[in-house]
Amino acid sequence: MQLPTPLEEILGKEKLNIVIPMAGYGSRLRPQTWSKPKPLVSTAGKPVLAHVLDITAQITDLDDSEIAFVVGYQGEQVKPFMQDYFPNIKAHYYVQKELRGQSHAVYMAKDHLSGPTMILFVDTLIDSQITLPDPEEADGVVWVKEVEDPRRFGVVSVNEAGNINELIEKPDNFDNRLAIIGYYYFSKGEDLRTAIETQISSHDPKKGEHYLADAISIMIDSGARIKAQAVDVWMDAGTPDAVFETNQYFLEKYHNNLDELVLDEGVVVNSPVNIHTSAKIKNSMIGPNVSISADCVIENSSIDNSILEEGAHLTNSELTRSIIGKRAQVRNFKGQLNIGDDSTIE
């Protein structure tokens, strides 16, 4: 088996530029996203954005990279988050005031589209070993996952060498089942920048938006060799149901901290869970598949398959498949809840 080319040989003396577009409203994840951007919603013990950065750390030392965030609604929260949790990363911030599509969002960070460049859309989480291609063999990568029904995805068709022939948005047949997951790499980000400029200047936007797939198609038509690289596990984090599924998966595989907990008498915990050490729990049953953030207080309650954001309070309640926002308070409630930050339910 041929081993992957070492990263230092791929990048040489160049740093990896990372562009993370995250300006969308996250409307499918409301009410959580009324008060915070979607990538700062928690799952399996940390915000989705932190999981994405953990995945990226497989490829490169993030302290030696530069990250450009393209933010929008509630985007002012991203900078303090990065300063608190990833203080050594050199980060830049650009505001996308008009949502005119993926290519427009990426182009907001055009100064960072040079040399080795990754584009990461943060409503996607993966569990897979990812590598960068040798620049002698490919000019870029689109990460994909085979799906049973490709008709609601963007997909790629590939040739025998694994190079992408075509990117197809929501096909009407099952001929190509490699769905685009939203992670991309380009050995020369300036080639993508040029393609986006060509796209925006000469192509009418589809439904008012410029799609990144069309820019990549321009690159391929100009001779770029873009590989399709499959991932093992692809998880969504864009809807409540998807967040619950992702929470369970990452708790089971990576973030279960039950063995590290010191539990008070009267507290029963069913694995897997991720409970912050500052959380206070009394006379309650927790789990399975529960994430409890810092400074939460839970008393006389039971909770399973749920996520409590920082500072949430739960008293005399029984919750299942619930997301409780920051500093929210829930008393005397039984059932499912999805409430945003600073809410009160009694």
What are the respective helix, strand and coil percentages of the chain, to the nearest 5? 25, 30, 40
* Residue 1: per-residue pLDDT: 37
* Residue 137: per-residue pLDDT: 85
Q: Where would I find the beta strands (DSSP E) of 242-331?
A: 268-269, 273-275, 280-282, 285-286, 290-292, 297-299, 302-304, 306-308, 313-315, 318-320, 323-324, 329-331
181 falls within a domain:
yes
Q: Output the CA–CA distances (angstroms, integers) from residue 162 to 173, 229, 293, in the order listed.
A: 21, 8, 43
Residue bearing tokens 């796209």? 199
190 falls within a domain:
yes
Number of domains in the chain: 2
Mean pLDDT of 54-58: 87
Residue 44 token pair:
């399996």
251 falls within a domain:
no
Residue 49 in this model has a pLDDT that exceeds 90:
yes
The answer for residues whose C-beta is within 8 angstroms of residue 241's C-beta and 6 or more apart is none
In a shared domain, residues 206 and 314: no
Residues 107-142 have pLDDT tens digits of: 999 999 999 999 999 888 999 988 888 888 889 999
Q: Sorting pLDDT into bands at 50, 70 and 90, what band is 336?
A: very high
Residue 2 in this model has a pLDDT that exceeds 80:
no
In a shared domain, residues 311 and 264: yes
123 falls within a domain:
yes
* Residue 23: per-residue pLDDT: 84
Mean pLDDT of 316-323: 97
246 falls within a domain:
no
Q: Which residues of 203-227 are buried (b: 16+ CB within 10 A; e: fewer)?
A: eeeeeeebbbbbbbbbbbeeebbbb
In a shared domain, residues 232 and 261: no
Mean pLDDT of 74-97: 91
CA torsion sign, 108 to 109 to 114 to 117?
Answer: negative
In a shared domain, residues 190 and 271: no
243 falls within a domain:
no
In a shared domain, residues 98 and 219: yes
* 3 state DSSP class of 203: coil
Residues 6-41 have pLDDT tens digits of: 555 666 667 889 999 988 887 888 998 899 988 999
Domain final residue pick, 236, 271, 298: 236
The answer for residues whose C-beta is within 8 angstroms of residue 213's C-beta and 6 or more apart is 154, 167, 169, 180
Q: Which residues of 164-183 are buried (b: 16+ CB within 10 A; e: fewer)?
A: beebbeebeeeebbbbbbbb
In a shared domain, residues 34 and 168: yes
In a shared domain, residues 173 and 267: no
250 falls within a domain:
no
In a shared domain, residues 224 and 268: no
In a shared domain, residues 228 and 306: no
Q: What is the CATH number of the domain that holds 201?
A: 3.90.550.10
- Rg (C-alpha) for the chain, rounded Å, is 21
In a shared domain, residues 47 and 191: yes
Q: How far is the C-alpha of 269 from the C-alpha of 341, rounded, in Å? A: 25
Range of the domain at 70: 7-236
| Cα angle for residues 79, 83, 87 (degrees, 5° grid) | 135
Number of DSSP helices (H) and strands (E) in the chain, helices first: 7, 28
Q: Sorting pLDDT into bands at 50, 70 and 90, what band is 174?
A: confident
Q: How many CB atoms lie within 10 A of CB 305?
A: 17
Q: What is the CATH number of the domain that holds 305?
A: 2.160.10.10
Domain final residue pick, 177, 208, 236: 236
In a shared domain, residues 41 and 182: yes
22 falls within a domain:
yes
In a shared domain, residues 219 and 264: no
Higher pLDDT, 172 or 256: 256
